[in-house]
Amino acid sequence: MDNSKIRVLVVDDSFFMRKIISEIISAEPDLEVIDKAKDGREALEKILTLKPDVVTMDVNIPGLDGIEVLKEVMLKQPTRVIMLSAYTQPGASATIKALELGAVDFIAKPSGEVSLDLHKLKNEIISKVRLASRIELNKFLFTFKRPPLVEERVEKEPVLIKKIVVIGASTGGPKAILGIMQNIPRDIPAVFLIVQHMPEGFTFSFAERISWQSGIKAKEAEDQDIILAGKAFVAPAGYHLVLEKQNNKYIIKLNQDALVNFVRPSIDVTLNSAADLFGKDVIAVILSGMGRDGLEGARKIKEKGGLVIVQDEATSVIWGMPKAVCEAGLADRVLPVFKIPEIIIEEVKKEAR
């Protein structure tokens, strides 16, 4: 066994899927499949015994399912786990839950549980395994101080929007966003626009998860949605999210214009749109992720007098997007992720007085 290689355990109940994933990984000179597992109990035993560098694990496996295995692993022996999930509603919901529990990333199977065309994702599998192997696990295992239980919502008159908070993230973002939103009070006079780089079929479940876990009512954004204080709108995968003013109301418009920074939705697109309409009343929050998406949007927010907050290196899983903003001298605040909600609340309260 070559100790210089990245050691990978492959977990899937399908013989075919175990075979093709293993072949993709083993073909790379720096990667090595050390073993395979066909169900949850076997996976848990082999993870604890073999101590792989990275585990690829199907969400839907017999015995203990992928979520239960992940819970046990993170409790007993934290390990870098990449989930594989079908594009189904149950699969997407379980995947978002897995990211919240500590899975470092996920790969969406292109055509169901047994994807005969998985070879199309060869480059994604290889790059995500390599990236996962370099991630410091303590950055995934941070915990937010959970807020006290809140009373049931009592509908009141609509609150005037004081701030637009645009949160942008990529790899490592879902867990950070969930933690931030859990600590935002539901009566805050601000609206949240969330741009998380994520494949199609998963942003709906991500928005649902935010609603379930926080006091803020969140939804996957739809064309013509009216933005309201105390609400969060998640940009749907495959669509840029921009704002327009119509009949004295601010509405969401979705489009499939060209990719920006190789992605759609792009954080830059949403930030630029928000800056044009709300100027100094925009708070940009740039979280963990690769690349430079959010940099030019942050520049425009600064030009308009808004506030730019970035996640610090110590708590970022991938300090790429935040680093780009910092190096350009555009960050007003560089904060550990668990401090970000407090600053958002403070800034909104300043304007609300």
pLDDT on residue 213: 87
Buried b (16+ CB within 10 A) or exposed e, 81-112: bbbbbbbbeebbbbbbbbbbbbbbbbbbbeee
pLDDT on residue 154: 44
Range of lowest pLDDT (48-57, 128-137, 238-247):
128-137
Whether pLDDT at 237 is above 90: yes
3-state secondary structure of 343: helix
Domain ranges of the chain: 6-139, 163-352
Task: Report how far Cα 16 is from the mean position of its chain's Cα atoms.
Answer: 29
- The residue ranking higher by pLDDT, 38 or 215, is 38
Query: Which pLDDT tens digit goes with each residue over 187-225?
Result: 999 999 999 999 888 999 999 999 998 889 999 999 999
pLDDT on residue 302: 97
Percent helix, strand and coil across the chain, each rounded to 5?
40, 25, 40
Q: What is the mean pLDDT of residues 314-320?
A: 92
| Residues acting as catalytic residues | 170, 197, 293
**For the domain bounded by 6-139, which CATH number is listed?**
3.40.50.2300
Domain 163-352 in the same topology as domain 6-139 = yes
pLDDT on residue 109: 80
CA angle (92 as vertex; 95, 204 as ends), nearest 5: 120
Confidence of residue 118 (pLDDT cuts 50, 70, 90): confident
Query: Which pLDDT tens digit goes with each residue over 136-181?
Result: 877 666 656 555 444 444 445 457 899 999 999 999 999 999 999 9
pLDDT on residue 148: 47
Q: Are 244 and 251 in contact (CB under 8 A)?
A: yes
Whether pLDDT at 55 is above 60: yes
pTM of structure? 0.90
Query: Which pLDDT tens digit goes with each residue over 242-278?
Result: 999 999 899 999 999 999 999 999 999 999 999 999 9
Whether pLDDT at 113 is above 60: no
pLDDT on residue 271: 98
- Gap between the Cα atoms of 231 and 196, Å rounded: 16
Q: What is the mean pLDDT of residues 299-310?
A: 98
Query: Which pLDDT tens digit goes with each residue over 97-110?
Result: 999 888 999 988 87
Quickly tell me which residue has 């169900």 as its tokens: 39
Write the class of the CATH domain 163-352: alpha beta
pLDDT on residue 120: 80
What does the longest C-alpha to C-alpha distance in the chain come to? Answer: 68
pLDDT on residue 31: 97
